[in-house]
Chain A
């Protein structure tokens, strides 16, 4: 800790200064340099950013932060920041009174933004807080140019934490790839061979070309490093594909699970199934609106409240449909098909009248946004991870309901032999309603999941009806396990095909595969065994 002493002191001092009123906070910035931040040419701006970044001053950090946030303003000759209501000169800290009438923020494009990010990260490398330094060192992993090399070297000398030290070393090596000295480049390349990041590979690749890299030894080392990194990346890539396949499977399964009960088990060709998904998604939207209006503090948890709401909403609609229309058409598949199709149109139009024809916005809660980096180059989005978990939960729920409850027993009995079940006292009519409600409710749960990744609109269900039937038919009618395997197979195959041929072709090929499969094996993956009444 001894060698960080002076820096610490200086930082504490500047921190103390920052606590004083804003007018005193700025002291040591060169006005001309700050003025240059508002220059016409990006090159001039960048030069100023780099100088300020190297100054290791907290004032510079404040000005650069304001610039990155589009809050550094310019009016004629003055460059200033708003501090509350007051306009404060960015360089001197003097209050500008009156506030200029017309001003605009300094335009920042991507090139400037990455320079700003680097400069800000460099300024944070001396922060007393380990977490801040770690974040800064991580930030510098992607595009540190040769200009950063001396700053990084200085920071490395001061750094005591081993983890941050390693990151800095890596960033220093990245910066040194542009070093005119071949020996420095070679050392950098050798160090980078241990990396597993696609960005590093991207930076090393140009060194394989003689046009970019005159030194043969460096070229050789770079080739070896690229091979080593690629071997590590290949694994991650396959893992990524499997994950996206699993994610698609989970969505297919959620969409199809309700149908597996209503069509698979009860034999109702329910064309309005997609609309039950839509009802679930709108219930989520409705819950979100309620939370926004009444419990804004708990807005992040509205999804949890949406789960029972969507289940109930969809189940009620489902039971209503069963009682009023579908019940009268049992055993007449063609009429059921037409009637449910009509119902789906009614439901779509009802949603359009209630919520408008445009898609509604369902926001991901904060804990479902972003992703987690499993390994370098492989980021798994949280919303998809949560949905896979949710699918497993719904699956367990359905399994318990079907296998362990009286209702499940009745449903299974009716599926196998309706008259016989009736004879031994199963109230077939009521069970039908309950089972249909259950299937609809599960579809509603699917709608909650869909609302988190797809668009929520009146006709969103139309896009899932074909996929849902595909899953159920492929899995084998009457079998929940079949639906699981079919969804898994379809999801993973689609994703691998997409990677190889693009989304449009993949969709066609999957359809052809399913048709051929059904031709060869009409009963689907799993056929029910045992004796049934064939009606």
Chain B
């Protein structure tokens, strides 16, 4: 029996340890408003999402310091869905029904958003989603503070086709295999068709989550690019796969002047783990870059750096800010404004009060929540990677653009309404 008891001990011990990593923490205070934070702190998406949790905590601390919301302190409830999509749904149910949070800031991948949607609809929760995505969705319970395709993907491809972008005539659409890249590429293919580009000049490739061997794909891109027309790569690779992808790209000697790669999910944070010198000139399209110079952004960057130092984050001296962090920051502030306007944290009242909210964003523009479609009006920037991992803005829109969640390039979308159904 000795061995069996030991075995039992080990099992109990191991499950305890596992649980301790997943358990949420909460701080008790007299009269607080609970705010849920739902970001993967482990697994393939941790590379991107951990910084969003920090941004949310920082913004909440900032709001609390200046008196909270309607005189009440905000109390963050952090959970870790561990890059595991069904776990996202479980954790959001826990946040809404057990912790009774009034609002949730969270998710990165579209698959995680799709996984929590039914829970938010059923329990009438409120989710702020801070990442650019594929559109094709408009839910009453969600506010989208990231970009819709017409605020990121379409302008980026237009830039690649312009003279300054290299007059690309052939496109490689490369992505991780899930809903966001597939849908974005569907929209882009239709867009490229409308610009007279044939199917023969479009190559579409997908890899699984966490894929780390990009040799074949780089070889294929090289071959495809050598077929007579200027080629560009549109990458919707998500998570830590980007590190081996860019490493391989650099090692294979594929330069940005020959085949530029424009990425929609790679920002300053993802490039922290990569030697960016071989990547000089590759592009990213976002609604914010850390390198944008204006007083609001300078203050934002300083606030995050100070936060990283005070929280003793790993590599605190080299932390960077990026687009989804800005979107998280905007989202939390707008929610605060809406709660103050509605004088209540009631979900339906806050949703009504969100319409038309404005906020002076670190991107240097005043961004506005659309009166109808739950998306922000945002400016678009295209940046080239510099040797120090920052981006050099080479193109930008004159002002904020209204989001089109239903892309006009997908047939049937012209009939869809620009307001959530149950509103």
Contact = CB atoms under 8 A, between A and B. Distances in A.
Contacts of B20: 349
Interface in B209-258: 210-213, 215-217, 219-220, 222-223, 225-229, 240, 243-244, 247-248, 250-253, 256-258
Contacts of A218: none
Interface stretch (B144-152, B160-168, B368-376, B409-417): B160-168
Contacts of B386: 70
The size class of the interface chain B forms with chain A is: 35 or more
A107 interface: yes
Given A237-B223, A369-B275, A459 B43 contact: yes
Contacts of A507: 208
A416 B217 CA distance: 45
Contacts of A107: 392-394
B288 to A, nearest CB: 18
Contacts of B17: 345-346, 349-350
Interface stretch (A158-166, A425-433, A449-457, A477-485): A449-457
B257 A110 contact: yes
B32 interface: no
Contacts of B387: 70
B273 interface: yes
A343 B7 CA distance: 11
B interface SS class: mixed
Contacts of A495: 215-216
A521 interface: no
B382 to A, nearest CB: 9
Contacts, number: 193
Interface stretch (B8-16, B63-71, B93-101, B106-114): B8-16
A499 B216 contact: yes
B257 A359 contact: no
B215 A244 contact: yes
A455 B212 contact: yes
A384 B247 CA distance: 12
B257 A202 contact: no
Contact of A503 (B207, B257, B273): B207
A240 B225 contact: no
Q: Tell me which of B177, B253, B387 has the highest count of chain A C-beta atoms within 10 A of its own C-beta.
A: B253
Interface in A81-132: 104, 107-111, 113-114, 117
Contact of A114 (B41, B80, B215, B257): B257
A109 B20 CA distance: 49
B42 A458 contact: yes
A504 B208 contact: yes
Nearest to A208: B228
Contacts of B228: 201-206
Contact of A339 (B10, B43, B252, B272): B10
Nearest to B214: A503
Contacts of B188: none
B323 interface: no
A42 interface: yes
B281 interface: yes
Contact of B10 (A109, A114, A343, A370): A343
Interface string B268-284: 00001101001011010
Interface stretch (A276-284, A375-383, A396-404): A375-383
Contacts of A111: 163-166
Contacts of A338: 7, 11
Contact of B258 (A108, A199, A335, A370): A199
Nearest to B239: A455
Contact of B14 (A251, A346, A363, A364): A346
Contacts of B6: 325, 328
Contacts of A352: 21, 42
25 contacts: A70-B392, A108-B384, A109-B164, A109-B384, A110-B281, A142-B257, A202-B225, A237-B223, A240-B219, A328-B7, A339-B11, A345-B15, A352-B21, A357-B46, A364-B247, A370-B251, A371-B251, A379-B252, A381-B248, A453-B213, A455-B243, A455-B273, A503-B207, A503-B211, A504-B177
Given A377-B226, A384-B215, 11 more contacts: A107-B392, A109-B384, A109-B395, A113-B256, A202-B226, A206-B229, A241-B216, A345-B17, A346-B13, A457-B46, A495-B216
Interface of B: 2-3, 6-7, 10-11, 13-15, 17-18, 20-21, 41-43, 46-47, 50, 80, 163-166, 177, 205-208, 210-213, 215-217, 219-220, 222-223, 225-229, 240, 243-244, 247-248, 250-253, 256-258, 260, 272-273, 275, 278, 280-281, 283, 293, 314, 384, 386-387, 392-395
